[in-house]
Copies of this chain bind each other. A is one copy, B any other.
Amino acid sequence: MSGVVVQNIPRADADVIAGLAKAGVATVHEAQGRTGLMSAKMRPIQDGVAIAGSAVTISAPPGDNWMLHVAIEQLRPGDILVLAPTSPCDNGYFGDLLATSAMARGCAGLVIDAGVRDVRDLRAMGFPVWSTSVSAQGTVKETLGSVNIPIVCAGAAVAAGDVILADDDGVCVVRRDEAIGVLAAAEKRLAAEEQKRQRLAAGELGLDIYAMRARLAEKGLRYE
């Protein structure tokens, strides 16, 4: 069941992707009912960078990065590579040469449930990466995996063409067919948050703004 490359995957609308990018991981995760987050072990190798794009998915054997070369050919500008090994592996599947190639195809970044290397170069090149490891450990090119099949990456199900959001808080997946609805919900949340932020900054308490006192008392909270 491996050894497949799905071509011509559908993608979400560029405006929708851009809108989700503006909302950020935490807000979008809430807006879609607290679903779609990858594990907290998925960390950025850089600070202060946020990206969004369509997933080109890769299922790769442990210690074998052959499919990354295959996947790069499938990239369209703005896409994000999302790689999950078929079993836990911290090898450095991706370094400055692959980043050079991916950037030349317009790739917006990499999300990988494994390791990357040449991280100093990757930062200098401005190629954004979220990974579960940093490791120089080299890989081989011997065994097929697949490209653009459904995968589970760091605990989250990802289909090719899903929208991937990544920032300092982690990585969130939005299903392609839900992206428009999630964007609307996210924008509503952002508007509501701004007003609350001002009241909280002025010293009002969440207990009052959210009218929590009665419900806390009802649950039995005692002040001593």
Give chain A's interface residues, CB within 8 Å of chain B. 1-7, 24-26, 29-30, 32-35, 37, 39-40, 43, 47-48, 50, 61-64, 66, 69-70, 72-73, 86-92, 95-98, 100-101, 103-105, 115, 117-120, 123, 133-138, 140-144, 150, 152, 155-157, 167-170, 172, 193, 196-197, 200-203, 205-207, 210, 212, 216, 219-224
Q: Nearest chain-B residue to A74 (Cβ)? A: B223
Q: Which residues of B contact A40 (CB under 8 A)?
A: 90, 115, 133-135, 137
Verify A33–B91 contact, CB threshold 8 A.
no
Verify A144–B220 contact, CB threshold 8 A.
yes
Verify A61–B140 contact, CB threshold 8 A.
yes
Verify A200–B119 contact, CB threshold 8 A.
no
Q: Which residues of B contact A119 (CB under 8 A)?
A: 168-169
Q: A6, A69, A73, A87: which has the most chain B beta carbons within 10 Å?
A: A87
Verify B104–A203 contact, CB threshold 8 A.
yes
Partner of A221 from the list B34, B135, B144, B196 (CB cut-off 8 Å) is: B144
Partner of A3 from the list B89, B120, B133, B220 (CB cut-off 8 Å) is: B220
How far is B167's CA from A95's CA once the two chains are assembled, in angstroms? 14
- Assembly stoichiometry (copies): 6
Q: Nearest chain-B residue to A86 (Cβ)? A: B34
Partner of A202 from the list B61, B104, B221 (CB cut-off 8 Å) is: B104
Q: Nearest chain-B residue to A165 (Cβ)? A: B136
Closest-CB distance, A39 to chain B (whole angstroms): 8
Verify A105–B6 contact, CB threshold 8 A.
no
Verify B138–A34 contact, CB threshold 8 A.
yes
A136 and B169 contact, Cβ closer than 8 Å, known pairs A3-B220, A216-B70:
yes
How far is B17's CA from A120's CA once the two chains are assembled, in angstroms? 21
Partner of A169 from the list B39, B117, B157 (CB cut-off 8 Å) is: B117
Closest-CB distance, A147 to chain B (whole angstroms): 9
How far is B29's CA from A97's CA once the two chains are assembled, in angstroms? 16
Verify A222–B4 contact, CB threshold 8 A.
yes
Verify A63–B66 contact, CB threshold 8 A.
no
Closest-CB distance, A152 to chain B (whole angstroms): 5
A97 and B26 contact, Cβ closer than 8 Å, known pairs A1-B33, A134-B43, A155-B152:
no
